[in-house]
Every structure is written in structure tokens, then in C-alpha cells.
Amino acid sequence: IAYRDIMNNPYKSEEVPELVAWRIAMNFGSQAQNPFLTTLDNVKKVALNTDGLGQSVLLKGYGNEGHDSGHPDYGDIGQRLGGADDMNTMMEEGSKYGARFGVHVNASEMYPEAKAFSEDMVRRNSAGGLSYGWNWLDQGVGIDGIYDLASGSRVSRFADLSKEVGDNMDFIYLDVWGNLTSSGSEDSWETRKMSKMINDNGWRMTTEWGSGNEYDSTFQHWAADLTYGGYTSKGENSEVMRFLRNHQKDSWVGDYPQYGGAANAPLLGGYNMKDFEGWQGRNDYAAYIKN
């Protein structure tokens, strides 16, 4: 208990206890399945069904042509979704219903169509060839993370996003950070630099992997989405850490006994995400409300 007086408190972690209803609003492949104003309508519907419980809405595919398109052009708000005007309307009006919004970004790989794509920023392997990343839409190319940081390119791209969303956005979801497959240098030092850059824009830090960025992240997707990813990445399972930070983050191994070990936790457990806006094909609103 005394340690809490000197420990790091992740930026905006005081919000976490109020954010009961996490979910993902998905847009993909130029289809604009969930335009910003549709997401706003869903916020209102959830607020009505839950008597105003706090909502945290992750916009996967807010930019360019949707999810995993145009990385890392952070300020390229999707026009098919309604553009920056509708995005800000969604966030401003949604906040009146207890909703906070964040966006999915990638700082580990980039796509050739992105304006930010740079020959100087590509990561190469030991043989001099390109270090490739994800390739389900276009072939992602790894980012040289140190160059991205030192050149000012990354901070400039976040500034572009900040110009579009002002003070309306609550958090950044940093995808794949820490798996070392793309940038190759995502150690604790660079992770702290990344967190500070995001926090300096007024945004809370969230990320993907269960063990990613314990110091600053307030949400780990693989910890809260129990059927997504493997059992080895389900979150943080330290009883000491949970005693200290249970109120600060949604990052703990949930109650999912079939995984065994720390996942057999019927009393504490953790959130088990049930979305209805397309992520993983999920579209059952009643199941979301029941959950």
C-alpha cells in the first residue's frame, strides 16, 4: 500500500474504473461498415440499455480505407466514414453519453500507399533486404523505429492527428508494439519514449499484447478479448501487480478456465470483450449487452 505513494500512475488511469463497456467499431477494405455517425448511434443505444455505463470505443479502421490501410498516416481520417467533421461530432456528442474514443495506429510497419512511406525509414534485415510485416491487404514493410523516433517523423504524424481531433480523443491503441517483428527495437527505452509522445498529446496509452508496456498502458487487447490470440498472451498475472494496479488498467488475465493457470479466476477474472460492430465477425448486440 505504501508503494502506491511512489509508483508510476499511467496517464488517465483514473478513468479506467468508469469504463465498463469496452468494444471495437470495425471498418475494413473500403466498405465503411461503421461510419462515425453510426458509431455515435450505437453509443446512444448502449447508454440507453445500460443506464449510462461508461463506454470505451476503439475505432479500428478510422483512417484511409479502413483497418490496416495507409499506415502510418495518422492524420488521414477516412472520408468514407464521414471524415474529420463526423469523427469530431461522434466524439463530442458521444462524450455526453459517457463514451470515450480512441484509434488503432501502427508504428511498427508501413504500407507503400502511405504518404509517410519513406525509403529512409524502412527497416532492413542483415542481408540488406526489406524486413516485411503484415500482408493481408498490401505488403507491410517494417519501420526503423529508432530513425522514426530520432528524425521527428513520428511526432509529426501524431501532430497531424492532433490537428484533426483536437481535445476530443481519449486514447491511442498502439498495435503490435513490442513483438520485434517489424521495427526490431521496441525495448523499454523506446516504449517509454512512445508513451510520453502519446501522453503529451493528451491521449491515454493502450496496446495489444498482454505483457506490452506494463508501465504506461491502461488496456491490453489480448488480455480482455479472451478468444483472440493464444493462451500465453492473455495478460498480466502477477498478484502483486494486480494488488497495486487493479484500479488502473484492464490488463489482467480473465476468468477462462480452459486456459488453466491464472486464467482460472472466478472471483477476480477480467473483462471478456463481446463486440457487435464487426470485429472478429461479431455482430450480436444482445450478447454484448448481456455480457
**Grid coordinates representing 82?**
464521414
What span, in angstroms and rounded, lies between the C-alpha atoms of 60 and 25? 6
Cell 493528451 found at: 202
Please name which of 31, 25, 24 lies closest in space to residue 65, comparing C-alpha atoms: 31
Question: Any idea what the Cα angle at residue 207 is, between residues 221 and 139, rounded to 5°?
Answer: 95
- CA distances (Å), origin 37, targets 92, 169, 259, 281: 11, 15, 38, 20
State the catalytic residue, choosing from 164, 208, 216, 250. Answer: 208
Helices (H), 51-172: 83-95, 145-150, 153-165
Spacing of C-alpha 45 from chain mean position: 23
How many CB atoms are located within 10 Å of the residue 92 CB?
A: 13
Judge whether 175 counts as a catalytic residue. Answer: yes
Active-site position among 175, 186, 216, 225: 175
Which residues form the catalytic set? 175, 208
